[in-house]
C-alpha cells in the first residue's frame, strides 16, 4: 500500500513543509512540499536524512532509568509505566518539599512548546526556557527596543530585495530552504549580496562583495555607515521624519565615527565603506540589512543588532517589498488563531524566574525565552531559590551552554534530571531517566501558526507508526502531569484530540490539511501603509533610536564604542558556527550526515599556522581557560589571522551514540560562560584560546 503524507520536517528548528512517501508502512522518500511557494519540492541535506534518523538503531529505543553514577552509561530498560511512575514520584516529592518553582524545563522551541509551558504553569513554576535565548536573545531585545515587538514577529522579503547585507549570517549553510530559494531567485534577477565575516563561509563565496572584517568590529562598521548616510543625507527623509524617534541624537552620536576611524578598527578601507552606503541608498527601500539569526557573539551584542535594524529604518526599508516586514497574524485577515493550552487559568506564580529575567536584576531579556546560560549559577548559588529538578526536552545544556564543566558541576547538585529526546544526547547520557520521543515522521504534532505576509497554519501528520517503544512528547508530559495531580490541564487523550481542540473556533478542521498540508487565511500579501499605518508597540509609537525600553532600565541607547581587544601573542579569538550538514548538536550521530561530516576541524590562518609549525590536517592542541582538546587543523588563507574557527556541535560524550562519540572538540567545553548583560545573549566569540602542534 502506498500513500503520501504532507507534514513538517524537524531535522532542524525551521520546520520546512514536506511531502512524505510511504509504502507498506515504510518511508521511502521525503521532499519539500511542492504546494508551498519557495520550497519547489527541495530539501536540505538534513531534511533528506530524515529516514536515516527514523531507522537508526542507535536511537533511544525505550525508557531508560539510570543505575550507575551520572554519566557512567549504566542503564536499565524500563516500561513506560515504571519510568513515568518513577519520574512522577520523584517530582511530587521535590514539589512538596521545595515548591513547584524548584523545577526548570528547557527545550528546543517546537510546536508543543505551549504544552511544556502548561506543564510548568500547572505546578506554579515560571522556569521555562528555550534554545532561542542562546541563539538570539539579544536580537529579541534589540527588536523590542526599536519596534516594541520581538525578532520572531518580523521577517525579510528575500524574493524582492535588490541588495541584502549579511553580518556573519551564513545563510547558505545555517539554512532555511524557503529563504535560500527566494534569495537565490532574487540574485538571479539581479539582486546583490554583501557578506561580512572573519571567515570565508559558503555564503561568502556567493556574495558580490565580501569583507574579511576584524572579529568583533561589526558595530564600528555600522556606526561608520550611519555617519556616511546621515552626513550625505542618503537616508529616506520622509520615512525617517514620520517614524523615527531620536534621529537628532544619532546624528550627534555618529559624528566621530568616520569611515577613516572605522578602517583602523575593522580593517575595511574607508572608501569601500562609503561606496557601500551610496550603493545601498540607490536601491533603497528595497534593501535589507539582515539583523541575524544567531546573535550571540559578544558582550555588546544588543548594540550591534540595534545598529543593523537602525540601518534598515534609515533606508526606509521597513514594511516594504524587498525589505523588513512585520509578520501578520490571522486577525489581519479576519481569522482566528489556533488555541493553546496556556490560555487556561492557572495558579498565580509569585516568585521570579530562576534567571531573574524581567526583574530589576536583569530587566531586558525576554522572560518568554529566558536566559538559560544563567542556569548553572542559579543552581549552585540557590539564587533566587533552590533548583532541584531539570527537564530537558530535546535541549542540550551540556553542549549548548558555554563552559560544560561548570554546567556539569551544577547538574550534580540536582535531585532529578529527566530528558525527553530521540537520541542519546550528552544530557540524556547524564540524566536519571530518559523518556524517548517518537521522531517527527512517527507522530502528529500541534498546529503550527505561521504568521507572515500571508498568515497560514501547517500541520505535522504522522506518516508511519513508531519503530521503537517511543511516545509523543506532548503525551509524555500529560502522563507525568496525571501522576502529580495536574492532569486536568491536558484535556486530550491523543494527539488528534489535541489538534482538534486547537482548531475549534478557527473555521478549519484536520481534514482541511489533507490536500496541501496547510491552510491559508487569505490570498494576498498584507503590507501596512508604511507612511501612516505602522502598528508599532513602543511607548512613542515610533521606531525608537532613543529607546525608552533601554533608558527606563538605566542603559544607554547609543553607548560609546569600545575597541575590541586584540589577541595576545600566541592567542586567538575562538569563533564558531554552522554547516549545512548539521543542526546544532542534534544530528552529528545521524548516519548519512555523519558520513559526510563526522568531526570538526580547526580553521587557522596560513601565516599563523606557519609561525606555530602547524601543517594542514595535523593534530593540534586547543586550550582555553576552561578546557583543552585535540583536533585536526585546517590551514587556510580563508580566515582572519586574529581568530580560529570550529563547527559547533562536536565532541559528544554519550557512548551509545557511537558514530559521534569523542569525535572532534566541543566549542561549549572551551567557551567561558560570559554574556551580554543588557540584551541577554551569550558571548560565544569572546573566549580566547591557545593553539599549538599536538
**Polymer length in residues for the chain:** 694
Contact assessment for residue 276 and residue 245, using Cβ atoms and an 8 Å cutoff? no
Contact assessment for residue 679 and residue 142, using Cβ atoms and an 8 Å cutoff? yes
What is the pLDDT averaged over residues 60-72? 97
Q: Output the pLDDT for position 177.
A: 96
Q: Output the pLDDT for position 570.
A: 86
Under DSSP, the state recorded for 417 is E
Distances (CA, A) of 672 to 402, 607, 650: 6, 27, 17
**Sheet strands (E) in 578-672:** 601-605, 619-623, 628-636, 643-647
What is the pLDDT averaged over residues 241-253? 98
Q: Counting beta carbons within 10 angstroms of the beta carbon of residue 598, is it exposed (0 to 12), middle (13 to 18) or buried (19 or more)?
A: middle
- The per-residue pLDDT for range 268-278, each reduced to its tens digit, is 999 999 999 99
Query: Which grid coordinates are listed for 208?
Result: 558580490
> Residue 620: pLDDT band by 50, 70, 90 thresholds?
very high
Query: Which grid coordinates are listed for 656?
Result: 551509545
Distance CA 683, CA 299 (A): 5
Q: Output the pLDDT for position 234.
A: 98
- The per-residue pLDDT for range 104-122, each reduced to its tens digit, is 999 998 999 999 999 999 9
What is the pLDDT averaged over residues 327-339? 96
- The per-residue pLDDT for range 457-506, each reduced to its tens digit, is 999 999 999 999 999 999 999 999 999 999 999 999 999 999 999 999 99
Phi-psi category of residue 306: left, alpha or beta, with phi > 0 → left and psi -120 to 50 → alpha:
alpha
Distance CA 240, CA 269 (A): 28
Q: Counting beta carbons within 10 angstroms of the beta carbon of residue 188, is it exposed (0 to 12), middle (13 to 18) or buried (19 or more)?
A: exposed
For residue 1, is pLDDT > 90? no
In DSSP notation, 28-67 reads EEEEE-TTSTTTTT---HHHHTHHHHHT-TTS--S-EEE-
In this structure, are strands 643-647 and 571-577 parallel, antiparallel, or unpaired? parallel
- The per-residue pLDDT for range 439-459, each reduced to its tens digit, is 999 999 999 999 999 999 999
Distances (CA, A) of 317 to 24, 184, 236: 51, 20, 9
- The per-residue pLDDT for range 345-398, each reduced to its tens digit, is 999 999 999 999 999 999 999 999 999 999 999 999 999 999 999 999 999 999
Distance CA 694, CA 204 (A): 31
Q: Output the pLDDT for position 357.
A: 96
User: Quick one: what percent of the chain has pLDDT higher than 90?
Assistant: 98
Q: Output the pLDDT for position 134.
A: 92
Under DSSP, the state recorded for 442 is G
Find the distance separating the first CA and the last CA of the chain, reported in whole Å: 57
114-117 long-range contacts, CB within 8 A, separation 24+: 114/340, 114/341, 114/342, 114/446, 115/341, 115/446, 115/473, 115/474, 115/477, 115/478, 115/490, 115/498, 116/393, 116/477, 117/341, 117/342
What is the pLDDT averaged over residues 232-254? 98
Please enumerate in sequence order all residues whose Cβ is within 8 A of that of 40, keeping only pairs 6 or more positions apart, or say none: 32, 34, 181
For residue 83, is pLDDT > 90? yes
Closest by Cα among 311, 300, 315, 318 to 222: 311
> Residue 569: pLDDT band by 50, 70, 90 thresholds?
confident
Q: Output the pLDDT for position 683.
A: 98
Q: What is the 3-state secondary structure (H, E, C) of 249-312?
A: HHHHHCCCCCHHHHHHHHCCCHHHHHHHHHHHHHHCCCEEECCCCCCCCCCCHHHHHHHHHHHH
Contact assessment for residue 431 and residue 392, using Cβ atoms and an 8 Å cutoff? yes
The structural domains of the chain, ordered by start, are 64-134+352-439+469-500 (3.40.50.740), 158-322 (3.40.228.10), 571-693 (2.40.40.20)
Phi-psi category of residue 117: left, alpha or beta, with phi > 0 → left and psi -120 to 50 → alpha:
alpha
Write down the residue that cell numbers 497560514 correspond to: 456
Q: How far is CA 520 from the centre of its chain?
A: 26
> Residue 514: pLDDT band by 50, 70, 90 thresholds?
very high
Please enumerate in sequence order all residues whose Cβ is within 8 A of that of 615, keeping only pairs 6 or more positions apart, or say none: 609, 633, 635
- The per-residue pLDDT for range 279-312, each reduced to its tens digit, is 999 999 999 999 998 999 999 999 999 999 999 9
Evaluate if pTM is beyond 0.85: yes
Mean pLDDT computed over every residue of the chain = 97
Contact assessment for residue 366 and residue 137, using Cβ atoms and an 8 Å cutoff? yes
In this structure, are strands 601-605 and 619-623 parallel, antiparallel, or unpaired? unpaired
Instruction: Tally the C-alpha atoms within 13 A of residue 414's C-alpha that lie toward its C-beta.
Output: 27
Please enumerate in sequence order all residues whose Cβ is within 8 A of that of 465, keeping only pairs 6 or more positions apart, or say none: 25, 442
- The per-residue pLDDT for range 124-136, each reduced to its tens digit, is 999 999 998 899 9
Amino acid at each position: 500500500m502506498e500513500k503520501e503524507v504532507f507534514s513538517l520536517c524537524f531535522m532542524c528548528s525551521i520546520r520546512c513543509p514536506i511531502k512524505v512517501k510511504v509504502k507498506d508502512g515504510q518511508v521511502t522518500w521525503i521532499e519539500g512540499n511542492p504546494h508551498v511557494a519557495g520550497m519547489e519540492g527541495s530539501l536540505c541535506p538534513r531534511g533528506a536524512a530524515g529516514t536515516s534518523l527514523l531507522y537508526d538503531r542507535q536511537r533511544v529505543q525505550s525508557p531508560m532509568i539510570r543505575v550507575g553514577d551520572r554519566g557512567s552509561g549504566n542503564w536499565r530498560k524500563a516500561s513506560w509505566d515504571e519510568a513515568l511512575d518513577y519520574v512522577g514520584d520523584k517530582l511530587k516529592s521535590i514539589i512538596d518539599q521545595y515548591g513547584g518553582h524548584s523545577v526548570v524545563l528547557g527545550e528546543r522551541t517546537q510546536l508543543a512548546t505551549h504544552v511544556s509551558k502548561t506543564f510548568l504553569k500547572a505546578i506554579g513554576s515560571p522556569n521555562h526556557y528555550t534554545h532561542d535565548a542562546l541563539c538570539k536573545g539579544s536580537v529579541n531585545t534589540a527588536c523590542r527596543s526599536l519596534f516594541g515587538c520581538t525578532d520572531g514577529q518580523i521577517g525579510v522579503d528575500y524574493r524582492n530585495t535588490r541588495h541584502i547585507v549579511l553580518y556573519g549570517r551564513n545563510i547558505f549553510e545555517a539554512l532555511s530552504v524557503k529563504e535560500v530559494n527566494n534569495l537565490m531567485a532574487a540574485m538571479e534577477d539581479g539582486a546583490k549580496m554583501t557578506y561580512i565575516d572573519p571567515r570565508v563561509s559558503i555564503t561568502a563565496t556567493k556574495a558580490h562583495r565580501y569583507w574579511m572584517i576584524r572579529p568583533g568590529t561589526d558595530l564600528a562598521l555600522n556606526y561608520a555607515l550611519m555617519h556616511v548616510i546621515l552626513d550625505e543625507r542618503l537616508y529616506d527623509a520622509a520615512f525617517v521624519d514620520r517614524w523615527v524617534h531620536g534621529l537628532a541624537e544619532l546624528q550627534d552620536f555618529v559624528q566621530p565615527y568616520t569611515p577613516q576611524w572605522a578602517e583602523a578598527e575593522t580593517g575595511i578601507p574607508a572608501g569601500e565603506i562609503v561606496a557601500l552606503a551610496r550603493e545601498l541608498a540607490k536601491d533603497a527601500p528595497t534593501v535589507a540589512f539582515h539583523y541575524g539569526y544567531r546573535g550571540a557573539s559578544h558582550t555588546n551584542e544588543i548594540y550591534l543588532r540595534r545598529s543593523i535594524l537602525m540601518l534598515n529604518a534609515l533606508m526606509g526599508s521597513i514594511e516594504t517589498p524587498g525589505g523588513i516586514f512585520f509578520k501578520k497574524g490571522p486577525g489581519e485577515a479576519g481569522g482566528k488563531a489556533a488555541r493553546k493550552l496556556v490560555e487556561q487559568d492557572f495558579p498565580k506564580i509569585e516568585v521570579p524566574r530562576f534567571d531573574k529575567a524581567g526583574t530589576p536584576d536583569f530587566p531586558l531579556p525576554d522572560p518568554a525565552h529566558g536566559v538559560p546560560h544563567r542556569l548553572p549559577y542559579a543552581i549552585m548559588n540557590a539564587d533566587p531559590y533552590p533548583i532541584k529538578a531539570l527537564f530537558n526536552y530535546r535541549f542540550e545544556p551540556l553542549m549548548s551552554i558555554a563552559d560544560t564543566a561548570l554546567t556539569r558541576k551544577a547538574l550534580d547538585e540536582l535531585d532529578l534530571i529527566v530528558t525527553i529526546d530521540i537520541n542519546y544526547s550528552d544530557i540524556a547520557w547524564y540524566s536519571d531517566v530518559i523518556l524517548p520521543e517518537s521522531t517527527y515522521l512517527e507522530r502528529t504534532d500541534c498546529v503550527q501558526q505561521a504568521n507572515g505576509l500571508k498568515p497560514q497554519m501547517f500541520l505535522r501528520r504522522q506518516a508511519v507508526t513508531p519503530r521503537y517503544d517511543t511516545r509523543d512528547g506532548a503525551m509524555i508530559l500529560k502522563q507525568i502531569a496525571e501522576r502529580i495531580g495536574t492532569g486536568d490541564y491536558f484535556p486530550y487523550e491523543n494527539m488528534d484530540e489535541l489538534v482538534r481542540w486547537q482548531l475549534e473556533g478557527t473555521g478549519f478542521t484536520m481534514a482541511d490539511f489533507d490536500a496541501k498540508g496547510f491552510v491559508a487565511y487569505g490570498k494576498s500579501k498584507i503590507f501596512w501603509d508604511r507612511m501612516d499605518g505602522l502598528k508599532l508597540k513602543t511607548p512613542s509609537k515610533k521606531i525608537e533610536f532613543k529607546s525608552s525600553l533601554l533608558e527606563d532600565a538605566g542603559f544607554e541607547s547609543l553607548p560609546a564604542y569600545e575597541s575590541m581587544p586584540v589577541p595576545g601573542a600566541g592567542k586567538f579569538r575562538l569563533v564558531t558556527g554552522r554547516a549545512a550538514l548539521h543542526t546544532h548538536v542534534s544530528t552529528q550521530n545521524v548516519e548519512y550526515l555523519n558520513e559526510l561530516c563526522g568531526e570538526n576541524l580547526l580553521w587557522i590562518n596560513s601565516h599563523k599556522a606557519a609561525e606555530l609549525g602547524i601543517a594542514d590536517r595535523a593534530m593540534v592542541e586547543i586550550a582555553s581557560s576552561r578546557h583543552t582538546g585535540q583536533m585536526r587543523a585546517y590551514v587556510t588563507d580563508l580566515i582572519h589571522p586574529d581568530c580560529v574557527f570550529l563547527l559547533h556541535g562536536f565532541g559528544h560524550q554519550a557512548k551509545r551514540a557511537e558514530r559521534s562519540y569523542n569525535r572532534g572538540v566541543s566549542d561549549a567545553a572551551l567557551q567561558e560562560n560570559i554574556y551580554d548583560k543588557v540584551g541577554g545573549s551569550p558571548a560565544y566569540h569572546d573566549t580566547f584560546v591557545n593553539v599549538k602542534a599536538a
